Amino acid sequence: MTRTNLMTKIVIIAMIIIAVITIGMYIYKQSKEENSFLYYENIDFEDEVNVYENVERKDDRITIHITGDVNYPGVVVLENGARIVDAIEAAGGETEEADLDKLNLARILNDGDKVYVPNKNDINTEEMILEDESENNKQATININTASIEELIKLPGIGEATATKIVEYRKQNGKFKTIEELKNVAGIGNNKFETIKDKIRVK
């Protein structure tokens, strides 16, 4: 009788332990699932999409420094392909003393450009703007009298072999006097010259 009671107690204790473990595992599993659900429920998927869209659109933006007679001079971010008139608008518009007639408002801007909005009292502003634009054009072209082989191969249709010939021609004949003289270099015919003529200069 004593042995039977002992076995009964052991069985009951074992069942209780199993029940406690089972209930504990069930509660833990439910709690984990609820927390997981709450985590995903709190994510703003629309915001996540917008973040990725902004990353993809990063190349569609340009940064411009605008100074002079605008209400809020400084750095502005514009859409790629924006014009001077857009930069002025982004800077809060022109002041009453601004002279927009001295600017080409339709000029397309490039990333890193600096725009100066002149004042009506500025002297020779038109000449300064023309000089600035001329300087920008120089920076956008390659000087074939000083360019290295690495710089020359950036031109469309100019490989390393042709770039080397250009450098050798310079060494043997001196500096190019005109860009048309580049056609004297072997491998540069009329068609290739027409492709690169707007991208090169001699000084």
Q: What is the pLDDT of residue 76?
A: 93
174 in the same domain as 185: yes
pTM beyond cutoff 0.85: no
Which of 103, 122, 140 lies at the terminal end of a domain, its last residue? 140
User: How does pLDDT run across 69-113, given as a tens digit for each residue?
Assistant: 899 999 999 998 889 999 999 999 999 988 888 888 888 888 888
Handedness of CA 125, 130, 133, 134 (dihedral sign): negative
Which residue range is the domain that position 134 belongs to? Answer: 58-140
Per DSSP, what are the bridge partners of residue 98?
119
Look at residue 53 and tell me if it is in a domain. no
Average the pLDDT over 34-48 and give the result.
42
What is the token pair recorded at 73? 């001079």
86 in the same domain as 25: no
User: How does pLDDT run across 133-175, given as a tens digit for each residue?
Assistant: 545 554 568 899 888 999 899 888 899 999 999 999 999 999 9
